[in-house]
Structure 1
Amino acid sequence: MRILGVSFDNAEANARFAAKQRFRFPLLCDTDKTMSMAYGAAKGRASLFPSRITYIIDAQGKIEWAEQVAGIDAHVEAAVARLIGG
């Protein structure tokens, strides 16, 4: 299992944010919002912030589960609960 985060910010801003939050996973840059739009986390390039959505994607790239969650900590908790609970 791999955990990745995605942000609209550049690499420098992401590095600062990830360090401040003590993330133990990579935070990817989606500055042109292409990935966020493809996964439904941004409505368009004018979006200021992506929706906080957690996805479980299988080895073949199929989305097995997705849920919008309120807080940063809830993302990992929601995914782990889903994986453990089936």
Structure 2
Amino acid sequence: MRDFEVRGVRVLGASFDSVDENRAFAEKYEYPFPLLCDEDRTLALAFGACSSPEDSYPARLTFLVGPDGVVEYATETPDPAGQAEQILKRLAEPDRA
């Protein structure tokens, strides 16, 4: 997480779970970042992580959102292993203003 912090990048997670469920999950797995609760699927629908408010699970997606709120990078991440390294590489690209 330090690699992101020194670049001024905030990492957030999101799920369909409640505050209590997310809190328990974060404590159990020692998550070092906040988990957003998207119980009504509003965020997932807006970002294409689900297609209906009735969906049980969101797709695993990763987004890099710039300071201006524009999505700079998006990818499906069925296996999140190695995703941090990919984002750090993207952050280092010279065309990223």
Q: Could you state the TM-score of these two structures normalised by the residue count of structure 2?
A: 0.79
* CA distance in structure 2 between the partners assigned to 1:76 and 1:46 by the alignment: 30
1:53–1:75: 8 Å Cα contact kept in structure 2? no
Please identify runs of 4+ aligned residues in structure 1 that moved more than 6 A.
none
Q: 1:20 to 1:73 in 2, by over 3 A?
A: farther
Q: Could you state the TM-score of these two structures normalised by the residue count of structure 1?
A: 0.88
* Distance apart, 1:85 and its partner CA: 4.5
1:67 aligns with 2:72: no
Unmatched segments (≥5 aa) in structure 2: 1-8
Q: Which structure has the larger Rg?
A: 2
**Of 51-60 and 13-22, the range deviating more from structure 2:** 13-22
User: What per-residue deviation string (whole Å, max 9, x for no partner) do you get for residues 25-57 of structure 1?
Assistant: 000100000011000001110111001100000
Identity within the alignment, %:
35
Unmatched segments (≥5 aa) in structure 1: none
